[in-house]
């Protein structure tokens, strides 16, 4: 392979991106050296097995990916702002919408959700850490190396360009001959293994490590939602693993799974992809429902309405999520019976979702509502998400779907579901749990400004797309002529997207501003909340709780505060904690190189790094690390410091 094939060439914007990548990397290296932070970075972050720090790293990566995916979105909106724009060519536009989709779903929404899970779940159930802290670090570093691998594709080798769904035969070697879709199959595979491990880890954590007395039906709703999500992860992600592996065999080893000759079946890919892909939608939206449940109940000063029905409806959604995949391709023509079946199951999902919406409304009913930033996002979510849901039922009807299929109507629908459903939720969750991690709130004034910009501009951006879709504008078309009449609404959407970008800029600025100027919170429970994570100090000490809480009811912390129901009854004892370790990070780095060599079919280095992975597993197996103990004296000292006692 020649160098000019290795690096992507010929696009001034990509040269600019290359230069900025090199400059930013240099700046980080120089900065770390100048401020002598290498040791700090290694000891406190790269080798950490602490669920809180891993959570923070997930969320930071998600914010970076939000920026990358957001830039992709702005480029698309610029290209579509008017008829016959020449900002991007067709190929570049294909690459941009492909990476936008994958990055936003797999490298932004997923890690943001998993980051919040990491931060909150052990605290909510009164545990010291997750069940397998080391595995948790492995999960993070696999996700991270997958994300980095996917992101370098736009300067090295070329991005995937067959859409985020990578349908065959378009994604086959014959029709997509660059390494772009190799990046897709390998990078997603690596990140996917990490996600699967997270699923296993959190199921064990939630089922086995709850504080004494916290029965299943006393778990906070966010914990419930994460438990159900992890079950979906464990049952859905192996399907993606297989699908991506078959794609790899087709593209790199000449197998015939999805080809058009020798018996291959291109539809098989679409089926496998969506058997994973539809549950994936619920993987990112169910935890969001959990976050909203916590926030709405906290800021309505009421317990959550219909706790049991919330749980039952989430279980129902998780079952139905595996029975609806074919609604993504009604138009491929598998007959009236099949389409009918999937229509019915799809529409049935509206029932448990509707139950949840009404439960939130009834929680608000007669509550003493406080309009904090997280609450504003939750309140905006309900009506906007309902629009997304109702248009979803429209799309669910197979016969009508022939009209909407692959138009901008669909694009508007899933943005109306995913942005209020997931993005609003993770932002609300970040605002809500931020003081727990850092000991101060994010500034409310800036937060509300960002909220109004985001909420209004979101609608300005995506509402026009419904009408463009109904008028016949298909998705993924890189340009249109003036005679179509698509121009004005597209311009409106583009203006909205700029507003959305400004909203996110304000949001990031509010984080910076709050770090510098926001007064520190000394109460450790700034929102007067209900669940256990607020019962320990903020920022949380590494062992989470000096004494394991004894849970006697749902919302035990609330009743401890209000009714003096006892919560911490035991004496402080020695605490057993896992040691930090650099192996997960090293494993992530090796996986990165292994993936890279595989993508370019450089077999010798690929085999060497493959062996290195097996060696790392053996090293772990032969190692004996039983963690360390924190003495009672040390705990007392930390607790006194966190309480602010003078020595």
Partner 1 sequence: MKIDKTLPLEYQTEENSNRIFGFWIFLGAEIVLFSTLFAVYFTLWTRSGTGPSAAEIFQIKPVLLETFLLLTSSFTCGLAIHAMRLGMKKPFMTFMAITLLLGLGFLGIEIYEFVTYVHEGATLQTSAFLSSLFVLLGTHGAHVTMGLLWGSGIMIQTQREGFTHDTANKSFIFSLYWHFLDVVWIFIFSFVYLKGLM
Contact residues for partner 1, defined by CB under 8 A: 131-132, 196, 199-201, 203-204, 207-209, 234-239, 241-243, 245-246, 249-250, 253-257, 259, 261-265, 268, 272, 275, 576, 614, 618, 621-622, 624, 626
- The span from the CA of 401 to the CA of 347, in Å, is 13
Q: What minimum distance in Å lies between the beta carbon of 217 and partner 1?
A: 21
Q: What are phi and psi of 9, to 5 degrees?
A: -125, 170
Residue 569 vs 623, nearer CB to partner 1:
623
Q: What minimum distance in Å lies between the beta carbon of 276 and partner 1?
A: 9
Residue 273 vs 433, nearer CB to partner 1:
273
Residue 95 vs 250, nearer CB to partner 1:
250
Q: What minimum distance in Å lies between the beta carbon of 103 and partner 1?
A: 25
First and final CA of the chain: distance in angstroms?
67
- The span from the CA of 168 to the CA of 190, in Å, is 21
Q: What minimum distance in Å lies between the beta carbon of 48 and partner 1?
A: 19
Residue 505 CA: distances (Å) to CA of 104, 441, 447, 454, 480: 17, 18, 11, 10, 30
Q: What minimum distance in Å lies between the beta carbon of 57 and partner 1?
A: 22
Residue 241 vs 403, nearer CB to partner 1:
241
Q: What minimum distance in Å lies between the beta carbon of 207 and partner 1?
A: 7
Residue 23 vs 207, nearer CB to partner 1:
207
3 state SS for 500-523: HHHHHHHHHHHHHHHHHHCCCCCC
Residue 246 vs 310, nearer CB to partner 1:
246
Q: Pinpoint the alpha helices (H) of 209-326.
A: 221-253, 266-300, 307-320
- The span from the CA of 368 to the CA of 274, in Å, is 43
Q: What minimum distance in Å lies between the beta carbon of 250 and partner 1?
A: 8
Residue 90 vs 319, nearer CB to partner 1:
319
- The span from the CA of 647 to the CA of 641, in Å, is 8
User: Left (φ > 0), alpha (ψ -120 to 50) or beta: where does 102 sit?
Assistant: alpha
Q: What minimum distance in Å lies between the beta carbon of 102 and partner 1?
A: 21
CB 129 within 8 A of CB 548: no
Q: What minimum distance in Å lies between the beta carbon of 119 and partner 1?
A: 21
Q: What minimum distance in Å lies between the beta carbon of 106 and partner 1?
A: 18
- The span from the CA of 30 to the CA of 10, in Å, is 30
Residue 202 vs 440, nearer CB to partner 1:
202
CB 187 within 8 A of CB 105: no
CB 163 within 8 A of CB 205: no
**Residues whose CB is less than 8 angstroms from the CB of residue 230 and which lie 6 or more positions away in sequence, other chains included:** 198, 199, 200, 202, 203, 206
Q: What minimum distance in Å lies between the beta carbon of 333 and partner 1?
A: 17
Residue 203 vs 492, nearer CB to partner 1:
203
Residue 172 vs 297, nearer CB to partner 1:
172
CB 49 within 8 A of CB 581: yes
Counting Cα atoms < 13 Å in the Cβ hemisphere of 155 gives 15
Residue 208 vs 633, nearer CB to partner 1:
208
Residue 64 vs 577, nearer CB to partner 1:
577
DSSP string for residues in 425-488: HHHHHHHHHHHHHHSSPPPHHHHHHHHHHHHHHHHHHHHHHHHHHHTTPBTT-----GGGS-HH
CA angle at residue 23 from 21 to 25, to 5 degrees?
Answer: 65
Q: What minimum distance in Å lies between the beta carbon of 302 and partner 1?
A: 35
Q: What minimum distance in Å lies between the beta carbon of 618 and partner 1?
A: 6
Q: What minimum distance in Å lies between the beta carbon of 133 and partner 1?
A: 10
Instruction: Of 237, 147, 139, 152, give the one whose Cα is nearest residue 187.
Output: 147
- The span from the CA of 167 to the CA of 172, in Å, is 9
Residue 41 vs 617, nearer CB to partner 1:
617
Q: Pull the structure tokens for residue 78.
A: 């610029």
Q: What minimum distance in Å lies between the beta carbon of 197 and partner 1?
A: 9
What element of type H or E holds 575? strand 575-577
- CA 2 remoteness from chain centre: 37
Residue 42 vs 341, nearer CB to partner 1:
341
- The span from the CA of 225 to the CA of 202, in Å, is 11
Residue 476 vs 628, nearer CB to partner 1:
628
How many CB atoms neighbour CB 629 within 10 A?
12
Q: What are phi and psi of 305, to 5 degrees?
A: -75, 135
CB 70 within 8 A of CB 458: no
């Amino acid at each position: 392979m020649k160098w000019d094939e290795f690096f992507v060439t010929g696009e001034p914007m990509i040269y600019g991106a290359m230069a900025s990548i090199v400059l930013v990397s240099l700046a980080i290296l120089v900065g770390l050296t100048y401020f002598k932070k290498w040791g700090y970075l290694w000891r406190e972050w790269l080798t950490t097995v602490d669920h809180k720090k891993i959570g923070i790293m997930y969320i930071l990566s998600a914010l970076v990916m939000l920026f990358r995916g957001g830039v992709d979105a702005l480029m698309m909106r610029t290209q579509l702002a008017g008829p016959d724009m020449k900002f991007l060519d067709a190929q570049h536009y294909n690459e941009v919408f492909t990476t936008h989709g994958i990055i936003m779903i797999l490298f932004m929404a997923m890690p943001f959700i998993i980051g919040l899970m990491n931060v909150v779940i052990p605290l909510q159930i009164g545990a010291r850490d997750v069940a397998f802290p080391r595995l948790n670090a492995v999960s993070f570093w696999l996700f991270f190396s997958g994300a980095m691998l996917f992101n370098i594709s736009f300067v090295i080798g070329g991005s995937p360009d067959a859409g985020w769904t990578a349908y065959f035969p378009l994604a086959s070697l014959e029709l997509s001959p660059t390494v772009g879709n190799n990046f897709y199959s390998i990078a997603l595979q690596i990140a996917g293994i990490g996600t699967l491990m997270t699923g296993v880890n959190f199921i064990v954590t939630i089922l086995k490590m709850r504080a004494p007395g916290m029965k299943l039906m006393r778990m906070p709703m966010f914990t419930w939602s994460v438990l159900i999500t992890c079950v979906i992860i464990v049952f859905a992600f192996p399907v993606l693993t297989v699908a991506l592996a078959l794609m790899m065999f087709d593209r790199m080893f000449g197998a015939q799974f999805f080809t058009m000759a020798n018996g291959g079946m291109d539809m098989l890919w679409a089926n496998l992809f969506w058997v994973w892909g539809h549950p994936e939608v619920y993987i990112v939206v169910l935890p969001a429902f959990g976050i909203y449940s916590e926030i709405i109940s906290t800021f309505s000063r009421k317990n959550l309405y219909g706790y049991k029905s919330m749980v039952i409806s989430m279980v129902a959604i998780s079952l139905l999520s595996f029975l609806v995949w074919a609604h993504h391709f009604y138009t491929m023509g598998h007959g009236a019976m099949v389409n009918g079946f999937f229509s019915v199951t799809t529409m049935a999902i509206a029932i448990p979702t509707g139950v949840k919406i009404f439960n939130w409304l009834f929680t608000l009913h007669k509550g003493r509502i406080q309009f904090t930033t997280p609450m504003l996002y939750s309140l905006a979510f309900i009506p906007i998400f309902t629009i997304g849901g109702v248009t979803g039922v429209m799309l669910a009807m197979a016969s009508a779907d022939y009209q909407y299929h692959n138009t901008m109507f669909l694009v508007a629908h899933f943005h109306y579901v995913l942005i209020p459903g997931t993005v609003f939720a993770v932002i609300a969750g970040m605002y809500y749990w931020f003081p727990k991690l850092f000991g101060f709130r994010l500034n409310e004034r800036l937060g509300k400004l960002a909220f109004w910009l985001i909420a209004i501009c979101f609608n300005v951006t995506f509402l026009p797309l419904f009408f463009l879709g109904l008028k016949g504008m298909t998705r993924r078309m890189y340009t249109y002529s003036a005679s179509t009449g698509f121009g004005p609404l597209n311009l409106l959407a583009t203006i909205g997207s700029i507003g959305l970008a400004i909203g996110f800029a304000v949001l990031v600025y509010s984080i910076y501003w709050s770090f510098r100027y926001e007064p520190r919170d000394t109460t450790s429970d700034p929102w007067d909340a209900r669940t256990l994570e607020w019962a320990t100090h903020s920022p949380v000490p590494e062992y989470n709780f000096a004494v394991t809480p004894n849970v006697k009811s749902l919302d035990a912390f609330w009743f401890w505060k209000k009714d003096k129901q006892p919560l911490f009854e035991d004496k402080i004892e020695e605490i057993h904690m896992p040691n930090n370790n650099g192996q997960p990070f090293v494993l992530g780095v090796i996986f990165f190189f292994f993936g890279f060599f595989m993508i370019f079919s450089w077999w010798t280095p690929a085999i060497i790094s493959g062996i290195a992975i097996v060696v790392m597993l053996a090293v772990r197996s032969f190692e004996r690390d039983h963690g360390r103990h924190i003495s009672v004296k040390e705990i007392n000292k930390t607790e006194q410091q966190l309480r602010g006692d003078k020595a």
